[in-house]
Each structure stands twice: as C-alpha cells, then as structure tokens.
C-alpha cells in the first residue's frame, strides 16, 4: 500500500505534467481568442464598449483565479448544470487569462504611432482593415515578449486546478505524497518539472525582448 | 470608420455556442439500473487520496475498499465500471451535475447531505479518533487545551472537535487527509483527528516517532450516494449491499485492506 | 433544476467573513512590505553587488518565478520543519508570500534601476552626495517611480494569490469560505460573496496605492 518514492513514481509525475501542458494550451488559446476580442473592443470607436470592457477587465483582474475556479466548479454545479473539472477549469482560465492578455495587447496596439492610423484613414481603410493590415502586424512584434512571459504565469496558474480535484501535476504530486509521505522529494520533483516547463519560456521571453528592443514596454504591460 | 457589428457577431456566435454547449444538460444520464445496463457502463466517483478506501496502487491504478465495492457493482450489473476521480468537496457536485451515476468515496451519511443526495444503507464505517504521538499524554478532550489539533476540513473529526469547543485548543483545518497527516509528521500540529487506523499511515512517514489512538471522537458509516428521486436504483443498491454482506464478499474486502480486520457491524435503515 | 438562492443564510455569517477578510488584508499588507524590501535588496545586489551575490539573487529570482506558489507554500509549511524551522500556518503563509513577491519585485525594481542613466549617478557624485544618498534619492526613488504601476499590479496579484494559503490551514477569507461550504453546501452564494469581497479589497488596495503615489511622488507645478 505505502511505498517509496522511486523512478516509477517520478514517471507518474512526468506523465501528469502532460495534463498541465494540455490545460495551459486550452487556457492560452481560449484566453488568447477572447483576449484579442477584448483588446480590440478596448480601442473600438464606441465609448460605451470601451468603458464596459475596461470595467470588465478591471473586475476580473481584481478576482482571485481560485474564486473563478470554485465558482464555476462548485457554484454552477449546484444548478444541476453539467460542468466537469475540465470545462470549469477551461472556462475559468479563459476568463482570467483573457483579461490579462487583453491588457498587454491593448498596450501594444496603442503603442503603434497614431500617424499610422491617420495614414490608413487617408487611404480610406476602415477600422477593421486598418487593424488587420496596418496596426496588428506592428503590434505583434511588440506583443511577443510580454505574451511569452505571460505564458509562464498561465502554466503555473494551472496548478490551481488541483484544488478543484483536477489531476494535473500539482494534484498528482499531492496524490503521490499520500502513498509515499516524502514531501521533500515529491514536491521537489514537482518543482523541477514546473521549472523545466517554465524556465525555457522565461528565457525565450527575455531573448525576444532583447532582440526586438522592446524592454521598456514590458514594464508597463506587467 | 465603418464597423459592422453583424460581422463580429458572426465570429462570436460559434465561439459562444461552443462555450454554451459545454453547459447543456447531459441527455445520456442513466437513472435506473436498467438504463445503466442499457448504456453499457456504470460511472462511479471515487477519491484516490483516502487510503485504505481509495488510493493508487503500484501501477498507479485506483485501488482500495471503495474501488473493490465499485467493481462488485459492475460485476453484478455485468457492465464495465468507469471511474471519475473527485475530492471530498467535489462529491455532491459530481452527482448534481449528472457527471456520475453514484459516489463511493468514504461518503459519510449525514442528514445535511441527505437533503441534497440519497444514501444507500452503509457498506462500511469508521470512527474518527484522536491520534497523537505516544509520548504525548492525552486522555480526555480537556487535555487538548493549548494544543494544536489538525483536522480535514468538513470531515467527521472537524465536526466533533469543533463541537467540543475546548478552550485554548487551536483547530487547524486542512483541505485533505494527506495534508493533515503531513502536518502531523512535520510536527506542525500536536494531535490530529483521523480514521481509526490513521496511525498505520503515520508510521510509514515518521522518523522514529510512534503514534497511537487516544480517544474516539465520533463514528460514521459510509453509504453509496446517488441523486434523489431515484427509488429503483436506491432499492437495487440496498439489495446489493445486503447481498455482499451475506456472501462474505464485504468481509473479504475489509480483511484485504485493513490488516485482516473483519468489517464492523453495519446498521441498516 | 430547482435551486433556491439562500444569500440570507450565508450573509448571516458576516462576522466570520469580516474576520477572514481582515486576516487576508493583514497578510497581504505585510507581504507587500517585506516583499518589496527583499526585492529592493536583491535588485541592488543584482545590479551593483559583487558577482557571487548578484548570481545568488539571480538564481533565487529564476527559481521562484518559474515554479507555482502552491508548491512553494507546501515547501515552507511541510518541508522546512525537516530543517528545524517550524512556523504556524499564518507565519508560514507570510513567509511564502514574501519569498514569492520578493522574486517578482526584484525583477521589477531592477528594470527601474536600469532605466536610470549612468550620468545621473555621476552628477550626484559631483554634487558631493554620499553613497547612501545617491542610492536613495538618485537611484531608488526615481526607479520605483518608473516602475510603480508594474509594482502595484504585482501587489494586487499577491492579495489575490493569498486565497491559496488556506491549503496550509491559515484561516483567511477563502479558508472560511471553504469551511462554510462544507457545512452548508451553499457553494454558489458563498463563493459569489467572497469574490465580491476580494474585488472590493483589490479596489481598496488600488486606492491606497494611488494615495501612496501622490505622497511619494508629488506632482511639481509647471
């Protein structure tokens, strides 16, 4: 029943890290799609939309990720609505991630000089075309380093899904600790696995930053 | 600057539909034993962090008393069992959201819970007891004064110790059993409430320290939880529990996982 | 499926909610203070310190920033006792929060330090300021001013992140919510109320940060 923490156990944790990666991918893609819509809405020509979206982003950024998870998993379940840990986590992480990405990307879009907008207007491009052809391609360059940097937060943030019973890396670590009771080795291994996933992203973000000379923007975006 | 809302709505609508489809009620939910058989599988929620009831075996597959009982249900219904892992606060939501047909996860029968779910007659039970190092002399609840006592949030021992309300006792609530045991091993607490063989698990991780049961706190029995308004399934489960008690199968499971100890006498209701 | 809201039942526990929220505020405020202090020291070490010290600070920052807070928390509470350091849940939570914020604020303050032109420091020397005066008036204050928005965003994340410390039995707001959830099963009401409290706290802290900014960096006329 009880056993030592050996190679077999390490492998179990490595396999569980797949779920951390899958959850991160869902959070990043969902958050990215919604975040882009929010970022565009933040600079749309309509004041009411800008105000509403900015308010929404501020409220989400004032809400703990854990609360979003608990609300969606335990709260919504109470209405008899089917929502499993996967869906709850996907929805909660999408909402949370989108609010931060929207802020980062809005900053980048707005950093594109106003003259570009005016030039596009002179060429009779509408808002959508200006955005798609002129502004976003330039903004992407600036957005790359802080976005990759934020992915580190997304990967680490998925550990919260453990608290609603989703078996990813952190939860697998807790399970392993139940049968081995070797917290230093178990959580040490878990830390190293997270580090192995996050550190390359951190390094990539830093390299992109240096390469693209957009260091000053990172401070504002964070 | 022309900006057509309809085009953006065209983009948004499929995304929204996709998101909402995840919330739709599950039409495939089985209510009666016949429907479960017809569907060809029984979906059972278990907790793999509560040895010896539920844990992972050496090939990291679910194992334990609850899992053996669940497999017997599958054997009787002649359908495969699909396990869904939940944690203790996730048990009721798993049922209410139609995610599982039943919960077999050290689910203590309480009147509060019975307002939301239905319980079968007990298939197992245990006493919550106070556990502390042998070197600590505690004989009565009063002696917990000025000590730190760890419990699992919302578990039996939490209720019992909270009700005792010993002056000066500091009650630390952890999210799960393993964290409580870990706190005991780390010396973060002076005593803990836990299952009546919890000291077996403490022994594994301890560095020479011996633990023992000091006094019982409260007894509980575990039932199989299902959704309310489901009398046919409930009746079948009661019959099933009665049967495995009679055939000795339940006793065999208990001896297998509890160091040869037979199943305690179980009441019926 | 017939779910009746029972906000009244849950709101009846307002004194406990308040008590939990107060511990959350205290934990966050102390963690922000200590975390910033750690951050300033490590940033100075990284930018101006001798090689080994700068290197040690870099390792600390990278390791903390690339592993989840939950795992750091487990380490402080469950593994540190192996080294003879035994802290009660509240102190362990504060230590983990300080270590975590320290790493992030090191990076943020360092970005601020790097934005100070070398010429300004030379100008300070020319004016006859001593080392401490230069660090305080010419390097640190302008550096913090430059990164103040990033710093306060990180502070808010500490407040929101404190919701996780219930995992080691610290009796803050989320811990009380979880306990109440196990007693009453009114998940939706409980987590909705607690989310609102966190949002209120976050906006409250932001208001305080704006006030501190006005005092520390008064706008000069002209």
Instruction: State pLDDT tens for residues A161-172.
Output: 988 878 899 989
pLDDT band at B26 (very low <50, low <70, confident <90, very high): very low
Residues 52-81 of chain B with CB under 8 A from chain C are none
Q: Which chains touch B (3 or more CB pairs under 8 A)?
A: A, C
Neighbours of A6 (CB within 10 A): 10
As its CATH architecture, domain B127-220 has: 3-Layer(aba) Sandwich (3.40)
Quick one: closest CA in C to B113, which residue? C185
Task: Supply the pLDDT for residue B3.
Answer: 42
CA pair distance A19, B126, nearest whole angstrom: 34
Do the Cβ atoms of B23 and A82 come closer than 8 Å?
yes
Q: Which chains touch C (3 or more CB pairs under 8 A)?
A: A, B
- B70 vs B12, higher pLDDT: B70
Chain C contact set for A80 (CB, 8 A): 1, 3
Pairing of strands B191-194, B211-222: unpaired
Measure CB to CB from residue A191 to each of C65, C67, C191 and give the nearest one.
C67
Prior bond of B52 cis (ω within 30°): yes
Instruction: Report residue A32 as tokens.
Output: 């990215």
Cβ contact C185–B112 (<8 Å): yes
CA pair distance A96, B66, nearest whole angstrom: 37
A7-11, A208-212, C8-12: which has the highest mean pLDDT? A7-11
For chain C, the domain total comes to 1
pLDDT along chain C (222 residues), means of 10: 72 91 96 97 92 95 94 89 89 97 96 87 87 85 92 95 92 91 82 94 96 87 50
CATH number of the domain at B33-123+223-257, please? 3.40.190.10
Q: Does C185 lie at the interface with B, CB-CB under 8 angstroms?
A: yes
CA distances C214 to A24, B70, C141, C208, Å, are 39, 64, 13, 10
Range of the domain at C88: 10-216
Q: Does B173 lie at the interface with C, CB-CB under 8 angstroms?
A: yes
For chain A, the domain total comes to 1
- Spatial CB neighbours of A171, under 8 Å, sequence gap ≥ 6: A16, A161, A162, A165
Chain A contact set for C154 (CB, 8 A): 222
Domain range annotation of chain B: 33-123+223-257, 127-220
**Least confident stretch, A79-83, B110-114, C151-155:** A79-83
Task: Supply the pLDDT for residue C200.
Answer: 96
Task: Supply the pLDDT for residue C105.
Answer: 96
DSSP state of B2: -
Half-sphere CA count of A69, side-chain side, radius 13 A: 25
Instruction: Report residue C214 as tokens.
Output: 């006005």
Dihedral sign for Cα B157, B160, B166, B171, please: positive
Most A CBs within 10 Å: which of B23, B67, B97, B199, as the mutation test of the A interface?
Answer: B97
Is C1 within the bounds of a domain?
A: no
Quick one: closest CA in C to A152, which residue? C66
**Least confident stretch, B29-43, B109-123, B191-205, C165-179:** B191-205
CA pair distance A149, A206, nearest whole angstrom: 8
User: In percent, how much of chain A has pLDDT > 90?
Assistant: 50
Dihedral sign for Cα A89, A95, A98, A103, please: negative
B225 beta partners: B103, B119
Half-sphere CA count of A56, side-chain side, radius 13 A: 19
Q: The domain that contains C66 carries what CATH number?
A: 1.10.3720.10
Cβ contact C62–A162 (<8 Å): no
Dihedral sign for Cα B197, B201, B202, B203, please: positive
Is A1 within the bounds of a domain?
A: no
Assess whether pLDDT exceeds 50 at residue B20: no
CA pair distance B110, C180, nearest whole angstrom: 16
Q: Does A62 lie at the interface with C, CB-CB under 8 angstroms?
A: yes
Q: The domain that contains A73 carries what CATH number?
A: 1.10.3720.10
**Least confident stretch, A180-184, B18-22, B36-40, B55-59:** B18-22
Cβ contact A2–B201 (<8 Å): yes
Task: Supply the pLDDT for residue C170.
Answer: 92
Q: Does A75 lie at the interface with C, CB-CB under 8 angstroms?
A: yes
Instruction: Map B38-68 to HEC letters.
Output: HHCCEEEEECCCECCCEEECCCCCEECHHHH
Is residue A86 classed as helix, strand or coil in its secondary structure? Answer: helix
Cβ contact A84–B97 (<8 Å): yes
Instruction: Quickly count helices (H) and strands (E) in chain C.
Output: 10, 0
Half-sphere CA count of B96, side-chain side, radius 13 A: 24
Neighbours of B58 (CB within 10 A): 11
- Of B74, B104, B110, nearest to B91 by C-alpha is B104
Cβ contact C150–A219 (<8 Å): yes
φ/ψ bin of C128: left (φ > 0), alpha (ψ from -120 to 50), beta (otherwise): left
Is A2 within the bounds of a domain?
A: no
Is C134 within the bounds of a domain?
A: yes
Cβ contact B3–A8 (<8 Å): no
Chain A contact set for C71 (CB, 8 A): 159, 170, 173, 187, 190-191, 194
**Least confident stretch, A132-141, B196-205, B241-250:** B196-205
What is the distance in angstroms between the Cα of C25 and the nearest Cα belonging to chain B? 20
Do the Cβ atoms of C93 and C162 come closer than 8 Å?
yes
- A3 vs A109, higher pLDDT: A109
- Spatial CB neighbours of C166, under 8 Å, sequence gap ≥ 6: B175, C172, C174, C175, C178
Chain B contact set for C171 (CB, 8 A): 173
Is C5 within the bounds of a domain?
A: no
Phi and psi dihedrals of B53, rounded to 5? -80, -45
Instruction: Report residue B223 as tokens.
Output: 């039932």
pLDDT 10s digits, C8-35: 888 889 999 999 999 999 999 999 999 9
Question: Which helix (H) or strand (E) segment is A49 a member of?
Answer: helix A47-61
DSSP state of A130: I
ipTM field: 0.83
Task: Supply the pLDDT for residue A175.
Answer: 80
Assess whether pLDDT exceeds 90 at residue B259: no
User: In percent, how much of chain C has pLDDT > 90?
Assistant: 63
Question: Which helix (H) or strand (E) segment is A111 a member of?
Answer: helix A85-111
Is A200 within the bounds of a domain?
A: yes
Range of the domain at A217: 7-221
What is the distance in angstroms between the Cα of C1 and the nearest Cα belonging to chain A? 6
Phi and psi dihedrals of B220, rounded to 5? -145, 155
């Amino acid at each position: 029943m009880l056993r030592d923490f050996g190679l077999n156990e390490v492998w179990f944790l490595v396999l569980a890290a797949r779920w951390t990666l899958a959850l991160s991918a869902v959070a990043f893609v969902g958050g990215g799609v919604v975040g882009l819509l929010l970022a565009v809405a933040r600079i749309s020509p309509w004041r009411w939309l800008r105000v509403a979206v900015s308010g929404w982003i501020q409220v989400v950024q004032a809400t703990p990720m854990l609360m979003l998870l608990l609300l969606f998993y335990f709260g919504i379940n109470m209405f008899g609505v089917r929502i499993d840990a996967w869906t709850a986590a996907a929805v909660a992480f999408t909402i949370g991630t989108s609010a931060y990405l929207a802020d980062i990307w809005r900053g980048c879009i707005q950093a594109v000089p106003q003259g570009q907008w005016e030039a596009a207007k002179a060429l009779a491009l509408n808002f959508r075309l200006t955005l798609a052809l002129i502004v976003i391609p330039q903004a992407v360059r600036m957005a790359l380093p802080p976005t990759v940097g934020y992915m580190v937060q997304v990967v680490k943030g998925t550990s919260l899904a453990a608290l609603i019973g989703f078996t990813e890396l952190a939860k697998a670590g807790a399970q392993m600790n139940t049968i081995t009771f070797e917290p230093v080795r178990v959580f040490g291994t878990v830390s190293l696995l997270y580090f192995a996933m996050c550190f390359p992203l951190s390094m990539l973000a830093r390299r992109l930053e240096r390469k693209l000379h957009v260091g000053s923007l990172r401070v504002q975006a964070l | 600057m022309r900006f057509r809302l309809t085009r953006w709505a065209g983009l948004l609508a499929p995304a929204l539909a996709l998101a909402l489809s995840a919330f739709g009620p599950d039409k495939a939910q089985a209510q009666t034993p016949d429907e479960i058989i017809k569907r060809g599988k029984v979906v059972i929620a278990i907790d793999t962090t509560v040895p010896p009831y539920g844990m992972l075996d050496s090939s990291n597959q679910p194992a334990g008393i609850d899992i053996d009982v669940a497999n017997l249900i599958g054997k009787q219904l002649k359908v495969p069992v699909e396990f869904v892992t939940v944690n203790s606060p996730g048990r009721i939501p798993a049922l209410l959201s139609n995610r599982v047909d039943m919960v077999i996860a050290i689910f203590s029968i309480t009147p509060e819970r019975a307002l939301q779910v239905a319980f079968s007659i007990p298939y197992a039970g245990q006493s919550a007891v106070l556990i502390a190092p042998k070197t600590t002399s505690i004989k009565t609840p009063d002696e917990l004064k000025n000590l730190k006592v760890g419990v699992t949030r919302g578990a039996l021992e939490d209720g019992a110790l909270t009700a005792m309300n010993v002056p000066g006792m500091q009650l630390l609530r952890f999210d799960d059993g393993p964290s409580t045991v870990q706190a005991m091993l780390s010396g973060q607490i002076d005593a803990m409430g836990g299952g009546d063989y919890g000291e077996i698990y403490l022994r594994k991780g301890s560095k020479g320290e011996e633990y023992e049961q000091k006094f019982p706190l409260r007894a509980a029995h575990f039932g199989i939880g299902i959704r309310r308004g489901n009398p046919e399934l409930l009746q079948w489960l009661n019959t099933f529990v009665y049967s495995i008690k009679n055939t000795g199968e339940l006793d065999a499971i208990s001896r297998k996982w509890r160091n040869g100890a037979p199943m305690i006498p179980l009441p019926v209701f | 499926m017939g779910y009746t809201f029972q906000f009244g039942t849950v709101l009846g526990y307002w004194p406990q909610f308040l008590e939990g929220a107060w511990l959350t505020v205290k934990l966050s405020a102390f963690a922000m203070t200590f975390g910033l202090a750690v951050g300033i020291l490590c940033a100075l070490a990284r930018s101006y310190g001798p090689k080994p010290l700068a290197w040690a600070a870099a390792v600390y920052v990278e390791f903390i920033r690339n592993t989840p807070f939950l795992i750091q928390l487990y380490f402080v509470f469950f593994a540190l006792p192996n080294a003879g350091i035994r802290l009660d849940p509240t102190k362990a939570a504060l230590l983990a929060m300080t270590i975590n914020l320290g790493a992030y604020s090191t990076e943020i303050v360092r970005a601020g330090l790097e934005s100070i032109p070398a010429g300004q420091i030379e100008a300070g020397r020319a004016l006859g300021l001593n080392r401490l005066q230069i660090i305080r008036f010419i390097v640190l204050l302008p550096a913090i001013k430059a990164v103040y928005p990033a710093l306060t965003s990180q502070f808010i994340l500490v407040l929101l992140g404190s919701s996780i410390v219930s995992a080691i039995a610290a009796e803050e707001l989320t811990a009380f919510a979880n306990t109440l959830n196990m007693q009453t099963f009114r998940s939706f009401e409980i987590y909705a109320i607690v989310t609102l409290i966190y949002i209120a706290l976050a906006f409250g802290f932001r208001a305080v940060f704006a006030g501190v900014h006005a005092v520390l960096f008064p706008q000069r006329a002209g």
